[in-house]
A and B are shown apart, each in its own frame.
Chain A
């Protein structure tokens, strides 16, 4: 913990880290040194002999280059497929399945190689956007660590086998009535898989079928069962909501429909056309929804039910909302220990829920117990909320935790003779107390189908290579049930098969090929007259319109409510966690999910939205708890629960609930692959079947050892002139205002622009044709990182590894700056609960670009359409440009990060973008390759470029459409219109850099009478006005 005594002196409103707030020497050095890793003392000593060797080698190379470059061959098709023009990218609609819901996407294929995934506009959960994880999945396809063959492990030996060997060996085990046979599958929305499963169970009636997902929304499902009598699926709707209350819920990020919900939320928050969607969040750790909240309280997860119960109580007692008789018990409780803050929060929320009756929504997160979901469902029902329901697609299945428990019991009793594990990785991710990995040894024939030869495969007799989602035929259902197609973009690279195909084999039925199975299943729901037409249409669109499940109007089931009320009462009486007995919340990781993406370099290197940590998970705790436990930031903490100890570095995060710690799952893998092995600590060891989400009563202590987390929070810090002065004289980088202040005075975002007249030393360039510009709306940006991965995939940006990130050498062209916000001069209590804002930062293509003025070789130049272009071939690597860049958006190739890529890794590269070598500077190009492609096409057709026709990768994938790109020379273009808005401002305008990317100010929508805490007046004091000169 850095000391807090300096915060009055620095007087910062926005700060990147506790280090910056305290102005520690480490932070100051980081800001002052442009290239922190550039420490000559730390380089291995180079001897004279090495030097001569290197020089000799370069001379030899210089000699070679004088010859003609290698002879190049052209290998045309022998028979070119009809309609295919080699070199012209094609797009195919397909889908990806994660946790039992399919997400539609459109994949770009270049000469038969899929290179980039984007969202499918026609898909209800995508709407054209795609999550960071779904975009990064394509890297998994080309992962050189993927399993390439069947393995048989027997008597300590390992044999390479073929599919026919497996089929011959397994046939007799799948011959009988299924006694002793068990199948453990992941959750799937695929109707074809359901069909094949039924066939399997028909053929083997005594076989057991179990479904397990480590991360699921089962608690929500059980909650609906508690109040309605049967399982329903919950569908929030945010664009019609005047008030949204989230209890440990993160609808904007951690939801199968998060992309749709984020789009709806952004629409609701539009200052002119939106309905408002005032957001209340009570949660234990910052979620992306929590960052966007107007009112937020940090409450330990085990105390979240208390706040919700208080809201229910207030609704009944103060706002005269009537609960059904059977649910009356919910409102009776008001006696629990509850803090003033929480009461205040509950009062404001209850008043708003009563006011927006019929236009509110209460959402509860998947880690809360079913009884809490039940209470939310009752309140939503009574308040007539904007929450819809459909019947659950498989209402009779047990919860995932129950299912894996039953299977483990069966395995322990020795009744399982043959176990077929379809995907998943239960030896790693099953609840630790089940000891699933050890139980596998008791099964005589265990078979694991998996993308990698992972922890589970290594404990099974047979390992079968699984085909990647982009290699196979399949189908699935969106969260709302819309039929979603999947088609292969490439033939299986390593002869893998899908779960469906393996089950079809085990069922002994025909056909067993994915293509035929999918078509057969679709035939049952397609119009008989024109099946081929229907099939082609479905594949073309990727979805079939109008196949969403019908919405249902469930009724409260009075008989069951009593059970729910009792369940809730038990939760309310649970003790408050303390520093001695804190709760540890284990949750899905924002990047590698449950661990299945651990070997994905893009995701490992993606900075977490809140901590900005890469290549690790960390134990998040609040500054107050860290002080109480005397643990410092970065110290390795030992978390002990139920006899298991996990050692993990600490990250002190403001906004974390007191005595509540958060630890992400998915790390500490031992058989993930070269990228993911040994990264982070394994939180699954703390997870038990009884407490899969919140481990209460753990003990946490410091070990005294420290660890350097590769966090990027202080990287590329923008050093604005004089910390103390900046609040008063120049506009902030991030600008915010309350909605009503903005409506009353639209100039509120420009009040602090005080600078001398801006006169340029250089003659202005004149523009005739297009002039590209961008607008980034901070009001709708939710910090989800989708743009960062989109940019990485589109522009061949390398992954550099943890050590390089520690040296501030990460290469992503977009970074999402996360600032904490407190009013200057406040004490530690406010710092502990600091607000958070996000600002995506990339090259803003300054009109008066400081980088261009210092390049000695003119490697960075202005083009006639206003881009700040980077010419890699001219760059000699002086790095002056990066030194002179005030926004710190340039990235330097310190090494040849793309040297000798695996054959498969190369296949992912975008051929339209140069792969940069060592010693070259690079940065955002506004996706110049996309601009050129559209421009050439438009010129060929003799037409102007339409507004919105050019979409840079970041703007294309943004779920909230926060990024708008277009022609500034056209006053009717959407980007020009956004620039006209009063919320639009330029960062560092006082430097006269005249950026082409402008930002739109962020608005908060706090309840009246809520006081200025957190989001309040924009910045500084009114007396400093009146000296405006420009």
Chain B
């Protein structure tokens, strides 16, 4: 008997039969895993809504904007002109804080920055991916209010992310901008509410100002 045994290496040995249930468990488990991953991936929990990092200086928008009534543009000077709204230089803080609360411990990082020239390292809250080219001026000048994307900043002690900032969320407005359009003079007024129906107002504004937000990929991705 000299049977050719060279093909035997391609045949599973008998003892591997016990592993069969394991395959079934693996397949089922994989399916479950995929479902959970997809479900979680699309859930708001994954979009960082509510992200509110601790900043080096406990700056309160509720105080400065809500109570003192400062305009957004006093600090965020680029918002009407440029892509970046801009975080103010320490110089801007010191315009007032040279005199106001000039001894506050909470402001030490700002004082230090002002005297050494080194920046205060703020933590970015609204962080878009690097392949997204968002432009503030293009939105603000068309009548999209700050509140549409950032929420009621004027009531926040600590700034937190209010909207998902996902691509689907962006496109929602690019497809139906009338939900968010307002007269340009009220763009920076966070507590403004329309006197009429928002959709009617938005549709009218859209027509008068010829607002047709592009939905091409290269509007935001280059």
Residues of A participating in the B interface, judged by any CB pair closer than 8 Å: 68-69, 71-80, 85-88, 861, 863-865, 867, 869, 871-873, 912-914, 925, 928-929, 932, 936, 939-940
B198-222 toward A: CB 8 Å interface, digit per residue (1/0)?
A: 0000000000000000111111011
B62-88 toward A: CB 8 Å interface, digit per residue (1/0)?
A: 000000000000000110011110111
Task: Considering the complex, give the chain A residue whose CB is closest to the CB of B222.
Answer: A929
When distances are taken between beta carbons in the complex, the residues of chain B under 8 Å from A912 are 133, 222
When distances are taken between beta carbons in the complex, the residues of chain A under 8 Å from B118 are 78
When distances are taken between beta carbons in the complex, the residues of chain A under 8 Å from B87 are 74, 76
Interface size class of B (residues with CB under 8 A): 35 or more
Listed by A's residue number, 29 A-B pairs whose Cβ atoms lie within 8 Å are A68-B48, A68-B51, A71-B123, A72-B123, A73-B124, A74-B123, A76-B86, A76-B87, A76-B88, A76-B90, A76-B120, A77-B90, A77-B119, A78-B90, A78-B113, A78-B120, A85-B78, A85-B81, A85-B86, A86-B78, A87-B82, A87-B86, A88-B81, A863-B217, A863-B218, A864-B216, A873-B131, A936-B138, A939-B141
Task: Considering the complex, give the chain B residue whose CB is closest to the CB of A871.
Answer: B217
B113-152 residues at the A interface, CB under 8 angstroms: 113-114, 116-124, 127, 129-131, 133, 135, 137-138, 141-142
When distances are taken between beta carbons in the complex, the residues of chain B under 8 Å from A925 are 218, 222
Residue among B48, B120, B216 making CB contact with A869, cutoff 8 Å: B216
Q: Is the CB of B48 within 8 A of A928?
A: no
Residue among A85, A86, A864, A914 making CB contact with B222, cutoff 8 Å: A914
Residues of B participating in the A interface, judged by any CB pair closer than 8 Å: 48, 51, 53, 77-78, 81-84, 86-91, 113-114, 116-124, 127, 129-131, 133, 135, 137-138, 141-142, 214-219, 221-222
Nearest chain B CB to A586 CB, angstrom units: 44
CA distance A912 to B84 in the complex (A): 13
Q: Is the CB of B217 within 8 A of A74?
A: no
CA distance A940 to B87 in the complex (A): 22
CA distance A932 to B216 in the complex (A): 12
When distances are taken between beta carbons in the complex, the residues of chain A under 8 Å from B217 are 861, 863, 869, 871
Task: Considering the complex, give the chain B residue whose CB is closest to the CB of A81.
Answer: B89
When distances are taken between beta carbons in the complex, the residues of chain B under 8 Å from A71 are 53, 123-124
When distances are taken between beta carbons in the complex, the residues of chain A under 8 Å from B90 are 76-79
Residue among A74, A88, A872, A914 making CB contact with B82, cutoff 8 Å: A88
Q: Is the CB of B138 within 8 A of A913?
A: no
Given A77-B119, A863-B218, 8 more A-B residue pairs with CB atoms under 8 Å apart are A76-B89, A78-B119, A861-B217, A863-B214, A872-B221, A925-B222, A929-B133, A929-B222
When distances are taken between beta carbons in the complex, the residues of chain A under 8 Å from B218 are 863, 867, 869, 871, 925, 928, 932
Q: Is the CB of B137 within 8 A of A72?
A: no
Task: Considering the complex, give the chain B residue whose CB is closest to the CB of A915.
Answer: B130
Q: Which of B51, B114, B217 is most buried by chain A, counting CB atoms within 10 A of its CB?
A: B217
Q: Is the CB of B84 within 8 A of A73?
A: no
Q: Is the CB of A78 within 8 A of B222?
A: no
Nearest chain A CB to B50 CB, angstrom units: 12
Residue among B124, B131, B222 making CB contact with A74, cutoff 8 Å: B124
CA distance A88 to B136 in the complex (A): 12
Q: Is the CB of A940 within 8 A of B120?
A: no
CA distance A71 to B54 in the complex (A): 11
Residue among B78, B127, B215 making CB contact with A72, cutoff 8 Å: B127
Q: Is the CB of A914 within 8 A of B221?
A: yes
Q: Is the CB of B222 within 8 A of A932?
A: yes
CA distance A863 to B217 in the complex (A): 7
Q: Is the CB of A936 within 8 A of B137?
A: yes
Residue among B124, B127, B138 making CB contact with A940, cutoff 8 Å: B138
CA distance A869 to B222 in the complex (A): 9
CA distance A940 to B215 in the complex (A): 18
When distances are taken between beta carbons in the complex, the residues of chain B under 8 Å from A75 are 119-122
When distances are taken between beta carbons in the complex, the residues of chain B under 8 Å from A863 are 214, 216-218
Residue among A69, A74, A78 making CB contact with B91, cutoff 8 Å: A78
CA distance A925 to B222 in the complex (A): 8
Q: Which of B83, B116, B137, B215 is most buried by chain A, counting CB atoms within 10 A of its CB?
A: B83
When distances are taken between beta carbons in the complex, the residues of chain B under 8 Å from A914 are 130-131, 221-222
When distances are taken between beta carbons in the complex, the residues of chain B under 8 Å from A86 are 78, 84, 86
When distances are taken between beta carbons in the complex, the residues of chain A under 8 Å from B83 are 87-88
CA distance A712 to B28 in the complex (A): 53
When distances are taken between beta carbons in the complex, the residues of chain A under 8 Å from B81 are 85, 88
When distances are taken between beta carbons in the complex, the residues of chain B under 8 Å from A78 are 89-91, 113-114, 116-120
When distances are taken between beta carbons in the complex, the residues of chain A under 8 Å from B86 are 76, 85-87
CA distance A82 to B92 in the complex (A): 12
Q: Is the CB of B216 within 8 A of A936?
A: no
CA distance A914 to B119 in the complex (A): 27
Task: Considering the complex, give the chain B residue whose CB is closest to the CB of A80.
Answer: B89
When distances are taken between beta carbons in the complex, the residues of chain B under 8 Å from A73 are 121-124
CA distance A929 to B220 in the complex (A): 10
When distances are taken between beta carbons in the complex, the residues of chain A under 8 Å from B89 are 76-80
Task: Considering the complex, give the chain A residue whose CB is closest to the CB of B140.
Answer: A940
Task: Considering the complex, give the chain A residue whose CB is closest to the CB of B211.
Answer: A939
Nearest chain A CB to B135 CB, angstrom units: 5
Nearest chain A CB to B128 CB, angstrom units: 10
CA distance A925 to B217 in the complex (A): 12
Nearest chain B CB to A41 CB, angstrom units: 26
CA distance A914 to B118 in the complex (A): 29
A928-B222 in contact given A78-B116, A914-B131 (Cβ < 8 Å): yes
Q: Is the CB of B138 within 8 A of A939?
A: yes
Nearest chain B CB to A911 CB, angstrom units: 9
Q: Is the CB of A69 within 8 A of B127?
A: yes
When distances are taken between beta carbons in the complex, the residues of chain A under 8 Å from B78 are 85-88
Nearest chain A CB to B67 CB, angstrom units: 24
CA distance A72 to B53 in the complex (A): 11
CA distance A87 to B77 in the complex (A): 12
Task: Considering the complex, give the chain A residue whose CB is closest to the CB of B92.
Answer: A80
Task: Considering the complex, give the chain B residue whose CB is closest to the CB of A70.
Answer: B127
When distances are taken between beta carbons in the complex, the residues of chain A under 8 Å from B120 are 75-76, 78
Nearest chain B CB to A746 CB, angstrom units: 37
Q: Which of B82, B124, B222 is most buried by chain A, counting CB atoms within 10 A of its CB?
A: B222
CA distance A540 to B127 in the complex (A): 37
Nearest chain B CB to A797 CB, angstrom units: 14
Q: Is the CB of A79 within 8 A of B216?
A: no
Nearest chain B CB to A121 CB, angstrom units: 25
> 6 tightest CB-CB pairs across the interface, nearest first?
A863-B216, A75-B119, A80-B89, A87-B84, A72-B124, A77-B89
Nearest chain B CB to A547 CB, angstrom units: 36
CA distance A75 to B117 in the complex (A): 11
CA distance A914 to B84 in the complex (A): 17
Nearest chain A CB to B134 CB, angstrom units: 11
Nearest chain A CB to B49 CB, angstrom units: 12
Task: Considering the complex, give the chain B residue whose CB is closest to the CB of A914.
Answer: B131
CA distance A443 to B89 in the complex (A): 55
When distances are taken between beta carbons in the complex, the residues of chain B under 8 Å from A929 are 133, 222
When distances are taken between beta carbons in the complex, the residues of chain A under 8 Å from B53 are 71
Q: Is the CB of B137 within 8 A of A940?
A: yes
Nearest chain B CB to A297 CB, angstrom units: 49
CA distance A865 to B217 in the complex (A): 12
A85-B91 in contact given A871-B221, A873-B131 (Cβ < 8 Å): no
When distances are taken between beta carbons in the complex, the residues of chain B under 8 Å from A87 are 78, 82-84, 86
Task: Considering the complex, give the chain A residue whose CB is closest to the CB of B141.
Answer: A940
When distances are taken between beta carbons in the complex, the residues of chain B under 8 Å from A861 are 216-217
CA distance A86 to B83 in the complex (A): 9
Q: Which of B121, B133, B142 is most buried by chain A, counting CB atoms within 10 A of its CB?
A: B133
Task: Considering the complex, give the chain B residue whose CB is closest to the CB of A913.
Answer: B222
Nearest chain B CB to A9 CB, angstrom units: 46
CA distance A73 to B121 in the complex (A): 6
Q: Which of B87, B116, B122, B221 is most buried by chain A, counting CB atoms within 10 A of its CB?
A: B221
Nearest chain B CB to A791 CB, angstrom units: 14
CA distance A392 to B17 in the complex (A): 95
Nearest chain B CB to A862 CB, angstrom units: 9
CA distance A925 to B133 in the complex (A): 15
Task: Considering the complex, give the chain A residue whose CB is closest to the CB of B220.
Answer: A932
When distances are taken between beta carbons in the complex, the residues of chain B under 8 Å from A85 are 77-78, 81-82, 84, 86
